Structure 1
Amino acid sequence: METSLRTEGKTEKHLKSGQAPKRGHGYIMYHGTHKTSAHAIITSGFKPSAGGTLGPGVYCSRDINKALGYPSFCSPNERVVLKLQVKVGKVKRIDAQSIHLVTSWHQNGYDTAWLPASMGRYEEDCVWDPKRLTVMGIAHCTDVNTKSALEGLMKQKEKDQAQDQQQIQCKICKKQMEETHALEKCWTCAATICPFMDRHLCRIRT
């Protein structure tokens, strides 16, 4: 059974180690990266790796312990673990019966490959489309300054996105718009009109 937690009015779905994800659902997962790469991910999004255990894609895990070990080439205080919301889409479980699809699952119609935990190996997932992953927060960062800077960057991006999506309503034509409509005057009655009005009923009959 999926475990759901409510945080700041949002429902977060967590999967246990051996629990299969359901097609089309979104789940909380983790991605380990270098602190400089974390900045780029928050700003511009993920860039899929060219290869790996499950082939090309963006790697993440529902087990934070898996993410804590990445990247392997840097010291622990340079690592950042990002908390993600992952829309898994159509998922292919990679096991003994499907090992032939270990790197070709996407070519066979799947959005995510899931490699369950086994014999001391942590569970991991590979997502083909980076747009399926959304950074929700910083799950781990020992550098206080870096964590503060990344969280500030996330807040600013959320603010910018909210402004981009914000629409206002024209007082004349009542239609939603992103930019202010250029208003005009009726040549006959001098009433203020909008070029996007469906119809203007002139107050003066000609």
Structure 2
Amino acid sequence: VDKESCGWEACCENSKHLQPGQAPKKSHGYTMYHGTHKNNASAIISSGFRPSAGGTLGAGVYCSRDINKAMGYPGGCGPNDRVVFKLRVRVGKVKRIDAQCMHLMTTWHQHGYNTAWLPSSMFGYEEDCVWDPKRLIVVGIAHCMDPGVKTSLESLIKQQENGARYGQAGPGGGLCKGCGMHTQDKHTLETCWSCRSVICPFMAKHFRKTV
């Protein structure tokens, strides 16, 4: 019995750091940052991000691989009220927004992209906008000037991780039946175009058997 690849492969580098000028690769995972008000931080950890209705890159969840960008958000509040999350972001298909692609600045998702990337060469700081909030997960607290709040948030992150490990966190959390990964949000299973078996897009590779 031989095995033949069905023609797709998933790749994820969970803790990969990129410099501001480096282009993210399709389907990889990267470390990024997101700034929020400390009063909103626990809800984001527990329930996930809510995409903004608009912004420089249109609708989506905004983050940056440059922590200095995230440190300025949200505007209108002091440093003591800000929390910066360390994220793991699975970027999917990425559209670079530069001088040649300004016409896609807020409509990139309509053209099949999961993430828009605004290089630092455009407006100063590198910025990313992710359409689907399930592509981001909070893995740590990069900045919080209130020790008590930071300890509480880190404890909540740990609870979420443990809950996902034992199938208790999130609406579909637990062990994915397709890829075997522990996940807070249920993975969407799909049908293989070749052998019609049920597969998960996060599987490292899928094979079909041929005689």
- The answer to whether the superposition gives a TM-score over 0.5 is yes
Deviation, structure 1 residue 74: 0.9
In structure 2, do the counterparts of structure 1 residues 11 and 113 end up closer, same or farther at CA, with 3 Å as the change threshold?
closer
Deviation, structure 1 residue 36: 1.3
Looking at structure 1, the residues matched to 14 and 79 of structure 2 have their Cα atoms a distance apart, in angstroms, of 31
Task: Tell me which of 75, 80, 85 is aligned to 1:72.
Answer: 75
Looking at structure 2, the residues matched to 83 and 11 of structure 1 have their Cα atoms a distance apart, in angstroms, of 12
Looking at structure 1, the residues matched to 138 and 94 of structure 2 have their Cα atoms a distance apart, in angstroms, of 20
Moved over 3 A (4+): none
Looking at structure 2, the residues matched to 46 and 119 of structure 1 have their Cα atoms a distance apart, in angstroms, of 26
Deviation, structure 1 residue 11: 5.6
Looking at structure 2, the residues matched to 161 and 149 of structure 1 have their Cα atoms a distance apart, in angstroms, of 19
Aligned counterpart, 2:120: 117
Aligned residues: 158
Deviation, structure 1 residue 120: 6.2
What TM-score do the two structures reach when normalised by structure 1? 0.74
Q: Taking every aligned residue pair, what percent have the same amino acid on both sides?
A: 68
Aligned counterpart, 1:106: 109
Matching residue's letter, 2:136: L
CA RMSD, 1 decimal: 1.6
In structure 2, do the counterparts of structure 1 residues 156 and 89 end up closer, same or farther at CA, with 3 Å as the change threshold?
same
Deviation, structure 1 residue 119: 6.5
What TM-score do the two structures reach when normalised by structure 2? 0.72
Deviation, structure 1 residue 18: 0.6
Is the 2:97–2:105 contact (alpha carbons within 8 Å) kept by the matching residues of 1? yes
Aligned counterpart, 1:87: 90
Aligned counterpart, 1:34: 37
**Helix, strand or coil: the match of 2:68?**
helix
Looking at structure 2, the residues matched to 19 and 148 of structure 1 have their Cα atoms a distance apart, in angstroms, of 33
Counterparts in 2 of 1:32-181, with a 5 A limit? 32-118=35-121, 121-164=124-167, 165=174
Q: Deviations over 1:58-78 (max 9, x none)?
A: 000000000000001111001
User: Computing the radius of gyration over CA atoms, which structure comes out larger, 1 or 2?
Assistant: 1
Unmatched tracts of structure 1, length 5 or more: 1-9, 167-206
In structure 2, do the counterparts of structure 1 residues 88 and 11 end up closer, same or farther at CA, with 3 Å as the change threshold?
closer
Unmatched tracts of structure 2, length 5 or more: 1-12, 168-173, 176-211
Deviation, structure 1 residue 118: 2.5
Looking at structure 2, the residues matched to 158 and 26 of structure 1 have their Cα atoms a distance apart, in angstroms, of 18
In structure 2, do the counterparts of structure 1 residues 16 and 145 end up closer, same or farther at CA, with 3 Å as the change threshold?
same
Looking at structure 2, the residues matched to 130 and 48 of structure 1 have their Cα atoms a distance apart, in angstroms, of 7
